[in-house]
Structure 1
Amino acid sequence: MGSQIALPLWAVVILAVLAVLAVVDRILMPSVRWALRRRANRAIEELNTHLRLHIQPFKLTRRQVLIDRLVFDPEVLHAAEEYAKEAGVPREVAMEKVKRYAGEIVPSFSAYAYFRIGTRIARSISKMLYRVRIGYRNDDALAAVDPASSVIFVINHRSNMDYVLVTYVAATSSALSYAVGEWAQVWGLRGLIRSMGAYFISRDSREPLYRKVLARYVHMATAAGVTQAIFPEGGLSRDGRLRPPKFGLLSYMVAGFDPLGPRDVVFIPVAVNYDRVLEDRMLTSAANTEPGKKPVFGFNAAVFARHFFHHVWMALRGEWYRFGYTCVSFGEPVSLRKHTAEANIDFRLLAPEPRHAEIEKLGNKLMEAVGRVIPALPVSLVSAAMLEAGDKPLSLLDIKERVSGLIGELEGRGTYVHIPRADRDYAITVGLRMLTLRHLVLEQDGSYRANPEELMLLKYYANAIVHLFENAPQAA
């Protein structure tokens, strides 16, 4: 009993290290995790008191738990069985694909990353590049939305700045969950985007198994009340006009909707416009791509560096202006429960073709609601006036007269027109200055005319509001 055992020093060191690791792993780490989780829950509870739309428990669920729920969803399991039969592969191979797809799609939301990092970066970038303004707010209508509803912001897609801008503008309402494409699958950026609640999708994938996994995740998030934001156009507008909507994500959100269930789905139209879109030249050049061919948006480091340092040099000389105004307007909320009641339909009971037709009607209705509240900005108004004049040179007085006529027409139809400083002359001067600085409009001896070589860009900015004249919609 009293005998001694001699051990080498290196063995004693290894045993001591293992003992310390065991104590840390089994005693200290669980306590630290519990303390951090408790602190995070308190912070989120306090944060929810300041948000109109609360952060739902679904967003706070551990990522691995969500992945497991998605992988073992009955519909996903059935889709995996069908895939294995059709492809002639073992079920285990199909399930490995499901796990990989789920791992790619499911985000890892962090309230700290979203509100402390993401929204602050979004605010800084937005205010550095633009004068950010809010058009129609619709506060009363938004306040009337049931907090238990699943709220979906439906946004037109003008620029990749849309993600940044809407995140900043909506920061006081809720944490938005976006669907982002492969462009964000970049090392370093991917983790940040995922921690902000965004989920990655492959827009070009037509594989039924992938589509089923994506559909079930979107359905799970919508059913759990997660606040989301979608861009129904599916891509950036190349000519400035609203693009016809695509219905993939929308169909996933509404296909399993229960009109008698406890949770409504409410769509909020959001319209964005810019005095200058960062990608405008790239987009208008892509508009000339032959039908059926996918445009190639290449990144040219030399061109980027040239423009970047040119703007830095202008700033140092005091000649740099922000890229004009950007404005966000909110339309009248559309209740899916009310929509299905008026149409006397239940998406769950419809056959595929009638269901697709009804979803198409809903998508067009939402895009029309977005179009009604697109704000008219100085550059769009001056561009429309210059295009109306054709080759005819205009004096400053002529331009002000034409733009004032357009403003009066739009305001008569209830459209929101952003007039900086409540001064029409100043608004027109600001819009004209933006266009002359970029040489879209040429000035000679006090006369102005559209630059014949830049007509496509002028049309791009005029097209942002052209539907407001053609259809004369009433704003919310």
Structure 2
Amino acid sequence: MTAPVTLPLWLFALIFAFAAVSFATHFLFPSVRWFLRRRLEKAVARLNERLERPIEPFRLLRRYDLIQRLLYHPEVTQAIVEYAAKNGVREDVAFEKARRYAREIVPSFSAFTYFGLGLRGARWLSNTLYRVRLGHHEADALSTIDPEATVIFVMNHRSNMDYVLVTHLAANRSALSYAVGEWAQVWPLSQLIRAMGAYFIRRKSRDALYRKVLRRYVQMATSGGVTQAIFPEGGLSLDGALAEPKVGLLSYILDDLDLAARDVVFVPVGLNYDRVLEDKVLTKAGQSGTRRFDASVSRVIRGVFHQFWLRMTGRFHRFGYAAVSFGAPLSLRANVPLAGDATDLARDLMSRIARIVPVLPVPLVAYLLMRGPQSRADLAAAFSAALDALPDAHVHLPRNSREYAVEVGLRALIERGIVHEQDGRLAIVPDQAALANYYARSIEHLF
């Protein structure tokens, strides 16, 4: 028993490696995970003390556990069986397909990533690119929302900056879980977005199994009290105007909803910009009649480096104003008829969003100039008349001056080549009419 054993060096190294891995997985890693978990729980508890709506326990569950709970729900299991029978495949093959869908949808929320990296990044980027303003704000109504209710922010979709801007302005309320389209499923962006609690959706998928998995996850998140943010329009506006709402996610939220157990409260959010970063890409897609965006990764990188170079050389200017308005919350428990029809609910929410879209200098000047050439004096008079016709709208006036607001809006349009001035007359440049109309239509419904 005590006789020495001679082994080749490679075999001894292999045995040592297996022993080290076994020790790490059975003793070291569980201890480290337990220690980090305790630290995380304490950090989240401190964080919840300063949030209006604490982070829900549902979001702190392990991603693996969420996926397992999702896959073994009776509705999803039945959908797997039906998919296998319809497509002539084994049930284990259909189950693996459902697992891939679940792994794609379910986020891996990290409080550190959201409130550390994500929130600081959102605040820095928002204030670097824009002069951010908080518009209409129902502070008293928002503060009276039932703490146990599930809050869902519903907003118009103008730009991919919407995610960044609302995350920044809602920072003291809660961590938002966004429904994000396929555009974000690019590594490493997808990992960052998933760690911030967003879940991916395939907007055009007609796969019944995928729809069932997505539907069940949305229901789990809603019943778990997760604060969410969705875009009823279902995509970016291509012409600047508010689009007809889609009822996909809203119907999932309303299905199997138990308002007696937990109320669902919708908060309308209206956004507008003096300049949308993707405006040319969106208007071009709108003119072509498709949603195929000419925005390659290389083009985005070139744009970022161009702005960085302008900043380094002292020539960078922010892209004007960006404003966000928060409207009065809509409780489904207090409006039970709306809980029975996703279409009626979607239309009601879009009408609430439409009423609080902020009016900014560039959109209003573009709207007035689209009506024909005019002098600066005519434009100033029309600007004042338009504001008088919008007594209930949120209008941001730089320096609280109508004259200066006209100058700000007009200067931005002239610098971009959208408006030209000749012989004291102002007019839209003909080949830039689509771009001018894009900004004008963002507030056209208010008139």
Q: TM-score range by the shorter chain?
A: over 0.9
CA distance in 2, matches of 1:61, 1:437: 51
After TM superposition, give the deviation of residue 445 of structure 1 in Å: 4.3
Query: What secondary structure, in the 3-state scheme, does the structure 1 residue paired with 2:51 have?
Result: coil
Letter in 2 for 1:50: R
Q: Does the Cα contact within 8 Å between 1:258 and 1:346 map onto a contact in 2?
A: no
Q: Does 1:393 align with 2:371?
A: no
In structure 2, the partner of 1:206 is 206
Query: What secondary structure, in the 3-state scheme, does the structure 2 residue paired with 1:211 have?
Result: helix
In structure 2, the partner of 1:287 is 286
Identity between Structure 1 and Structure 2 (%):
51
Letter in 1 for 2:327: G
After TM superposition, give the deviation of residue 187 of structure 1 in Å: 1.6
In structure 2, the partner of 1:262 is 261
In structure 2, the partner of 1:226 is 226
Q: Does 1:452 align with 2:435?
A: no
In structure 1, the partner of 2:444 is 466
Cα separation, partners in 2 of 1:97 and 1:141, compared to 1, 3 Å: same
After TM superposition, give the deviation of residue 281 of structure 1 in Å: 1.3
After TM superposition, give the deviation of residue 26 of structure 1 in Å: 3.0
CA deviations on 1:437-472 (whole Å, 9 max, x unpaired) are: 011111234432222221211111111111111xxx
After TM superposition, give the deviation of residue 405 of structure 1 in Å: 1.0
In structure 1, the partner of 2:395 is 417
Unaligned residue ranges in structure 1 (runs of 5+): 348-357, 470-476
Q: Does 1:362 align with 2:361?
A: no
CA deviations on 1:284-307 (whole Å, 9 max, x unpaired) are: 1222224xxx33212356765665
In structure 1, the partner of 2:168 is 168
After TM superposition, give the deviation of residue 427 of structure 1 in Å: 1.4
CA deviations on 1:392-431 (whole Å, 9 max, x unpaired) are: 331x222111111111211x2x111011221222111111
In structure 1, the partner of 2:273 is 274
Residue 362 (structure 2) aligned to one of 379, 394, 417: 379
After TM superposition, give the deviation of residue 8 of structure 1 in Å: 3.4
Letter in 2 for 1:393: Q
The answer to which of 43-52 and 24-33 deviates more is 24-33
Q: Does the Cα contact within 8 Å between 1:384 and 1:459 map onto a contact in 2?
A: yes
CA deviations on 1:114-141 (whole Å, 9 max, x unpaired) are: 1111111111111111111100121101
In structure 2, the partner of 1:130 is 130
Query: What secondary structure, in the 3-state scheme, does the structure 2 residue paired with 1:288 have?
Result: helix
Q: Does the Cα contact within 8 Å between 2:254 and 2:339 map onto a contact in 1?
A: no
In structure 2, the partner of 1:84 is 84
Letter in 1 for 2:416: R
The answer to which of 75-84 and 23-32 deviates more is 23-32
The answer to which of 295-304 and 174-183 deviates more is 295-304
CA distance in 1, matches of 2:83, 2:432: 51
Report the TM-score when normalising by structure 2. Answer: 0.95
Q: Does the Cα contact within 8 Å between 2:84 and 2:94 map onto a contact in 1?
A: yes
In structure 2, the partner of 1:338 is 334
After TM superposition, give the deviation of residue 98 of structure 1 in Å: 1.1
CA distance in 1, matches of 2:299, 2:221: 41
CA distance in 1, matches of 2:423, 2:220: 63
Query: What secondary structure, in the 3-state scheme, does the structure 1 residue paired with 2:335 have?
Result: helix
After TM superposition, give the deviation of residue 94 of structure 1 in Å: 1.5
Q: How many residue pairs align between the two structures?
A: 446
In structure 2, the partner of 1:105 is 105
Letter in 1 for 2:406: I
CA deviations on 1:32-80 (whole Å, 9 max, x unpaired) are: 2111111100110111111111110111100010000011000011111
Cα separation, partners in 2 of 1:229 and 1:346, compared to 1, 3 Å: closer
Letter in 2 for 1:43: A
Q: Does the Cα contact within 8 Å between 2:274 and 2:361 map onto a contact in 1?
A: yes
After TM superposition, give the deviation of residue 219 of structure 1 in Å: 0.3
Query: What secondary structure, in the 3-state scheme, does the structure 1 residue paired with 2:287 have?
Result: coil
Residue 382 (structure 2) aligned to one of 402, 414, 439: 402
Q: Does the Cα contact within 8 Å between 2:128 and 2:318 map onto a contact in 1?
A: yes
Report the TM-score when normalising by structure 1. Answer: 0.89
In structure 2, the partner of 1:326 is 322
After TM superposition, give the deviation of residue 308 of structure 1 in Å: 5.2
Q: Does the Cα contact within 8 Å between 2:138 and 2:328 map onto a contact in 1?
A: yes
CA distance in 1, matches of 2:307, 2:13: 60
Q: Does the Cα contact within 8 Å between 2:281 and 2:294 map onto a contact in 1?
A: no
Unaligned residue ranges in structure 2 (runs of 5+): none
Query: What secondary structure, in the 3-state scheme, does the structure 2 residue paired with 1:51 have?
Result: coil
Query: What secondary structure, in the 3-state scheme, does the structure 2 residue paired with 1:435 have?
Result: helix
Query: What secondary structure, in the 3-state scheme, does the structure 1 residue paired with 2:133 have?
Result: strand
After TM superposition, give the deviation of residue 314 of structure 1 in Å: 5.0
Letter in 2 for 1:380: P
CA distance in 1, matches of 2:305, 2:194: 31
RMSD between superposed Cα atoms in Å: 2.0
CA distance in 2, matches of 1:149, 1:51: 15
Query: What secondary structure, in the 3-state scheme, does the structure 2 residue paired with 1:338 have?
Result: coil
Q: Does the Cα contact within 8 Å between 1:159 and 1:236 map onto a contact in 2?
A: yes
